[in-house]
């Protein structure tokens, strides 16, 4: 959103022209770090609008009371399958599916399920992210719980552990290891292959389509409780659902746009993973059990 190549520099100037205002974007890191900053600033909020909280963190945000209610006038533009359980607090602006992206020239087995990731030929060949510091890392942990249940997910992680070369704090570091060919597989998104095709002309980096289905990540925007510029925050959220904003999402966010009228670029049509089965745990359950699940995961990884 904030980087010079990201969505912000593309769409913010358009909004500034519409609102005759100045937008100041401040990066706080991954979604979990963004939420931590909101909680720390709760008594003296510095932001008007928060961007990037997702469906795994919404109840955590609500529990800490850092969001204000708002339903945009143009909410009907959002596809029906992409909704937050508490849609009056966060408005989706993009979505995607967690997936393992692999170099098809360097992996000699078919990657089509969690069981396939346990193959001994993949020992020390996979990079993932930490669920305590990374939204994608948390997404993977929740994905395994959605597939194997609790406590079944623990058995999977015990078997999977030998094939993990490294656990990074965020997605960027894992993507960097993959780009440097230090690992042939990393935890990413089903929308990563269109990037490699469009910008690096690589068509051998693919997203594995798991027969169990894929866990969805929905990223949203919300109004920060105590905002001093609520009207402008509302206007920005409504702007985020328009075709002007949403048409930039695929090649700036490398996620799917939520506006159902947007036509996807060809690279997305050809290379993005749109799974048959969309998985998602009840966010109330996630909020209730998240700390326990992460702690259990840490015990397995440290043993």
At 236, which CATH number?
3.40.190.10
Domain count, the chain: 2
pLDDT at 250: 96
User: Residue 184 is part of which domain span?
Assistant: 97-214+277-302
Q: Are residues 235 and 199 part of one domain?
A: no
pLDDT at 1: 85
Q: Are residues 21 and 158 part of one domain?
A: no
Chain Cα centroid distance, residue 83: 15
Q: Are residues 161 and 48 part of one domain?
A: no
pLDDT at 50: 97
Q: Is residue 221 within 8 Å of residue 232, measured between CB atoms?
A: no
* Whole-structure pTM value: 0.92
Q: Are residues 295 and 206 part of one domain?
A: yes
Q: Are residues 288 and 170 part of one domain?
A: yes
A 10 A CB-CB count for 257 gives 27
Q: Are residues 58 and 177 part of one domain?
A: no
A 10 A CB-CB count for 92 gives 23
DSSP 60-105: HHHHTT-EE----TTGGGB-TT---TTTTT-EEEEEEEEEEEEETT
- What is the spatial distance between Cα 177 and Cα 179, in angstroms, rounded to a whole number? 5
Q: Are residues 162 and 105 part of one domain?
A: yes
By DSSP bridging, strand 278-279 and strand 214-224 are: parallel
Mean pLDDT by 10 residues, the chain (303 residues): 88 96 91 90 96 90 95 93 86 97 97 98 97 91 98 98 96 96 98 96 98 96 97 98 97 95 96 95 89 98 94
Q: Is residue 254 within 8 Å of residue 194, measured between CB atoms?
A: yes
pLDDT at 134: 87
Q: Are residues 162 and 291 part of one domain?
A: yes
pLDDT at 80: 83
In this structure, is residue 27 part of a structural domain?
Answer: yes
pLDDT at 232: 98
pLDDT at 183: 98
Q: Name the 3-class secondary structure at 258.
A: coil
């Amino acid at each position: 959103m904030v980087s010079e190549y990201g969505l912000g520099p593309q769409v913010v100037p358009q909004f500034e022209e519409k609102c005759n205002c100045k937008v100041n974007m401040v990066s706080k890191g991954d979604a979990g770090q963004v939420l931590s900053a909101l909680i720390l600033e709760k008594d003296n909020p510095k932001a008007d609008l928060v961007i990037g909280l997702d469906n795994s963190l919404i109840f955590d945000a609500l529990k800490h009371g850092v969001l204000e209610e708002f339903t945009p006038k143009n909410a009907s533009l959002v596809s029906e399958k992409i909704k937050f359980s508490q849609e009056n607090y966060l408005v989706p602006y993009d979505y995607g599916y967690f997936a393992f992206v692999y170099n098809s020239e360097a992996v000699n087995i078919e990657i089509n399920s969690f069981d396939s990731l346990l193959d001994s030929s993949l020992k020390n060949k996979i990079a993932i992210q930490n669920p305590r510091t990374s939204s994608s890392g948390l997404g993977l942990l929740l994905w395994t719980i959605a597939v194997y249940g609790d406590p079944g997910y623990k058995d999977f992680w015990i078997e999977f552990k030998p094939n993990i070369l490294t656990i990074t704090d965020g997605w960027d570091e894992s993507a960097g290891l993959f780009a440097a060919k230090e690992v042939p597989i990393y935890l990413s998104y089903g929308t990563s292959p269109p990037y490699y095709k469009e910008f690096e002309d690589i068509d051998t980096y693919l997203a594995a389509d798991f027969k169990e289905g894929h866990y969805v990540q929905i990223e949203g925007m919300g109004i920060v409780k105590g905002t001093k510029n609520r009207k402008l925050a509302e206007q920005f959220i409504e702007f985020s659902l328009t075709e002007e904003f949403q048409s930039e999402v695929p090649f700036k966010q490398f996620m799917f746009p939520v506006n159902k009228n947007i036509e996807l670029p060809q690279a997305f049509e050809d290379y993005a993973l749109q799974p048959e089965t969309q998985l998602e745990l009840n966010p109330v359950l996630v909020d209730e059990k998240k700390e326990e699940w992460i702690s259990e995961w840490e015990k397995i990884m440290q043993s």
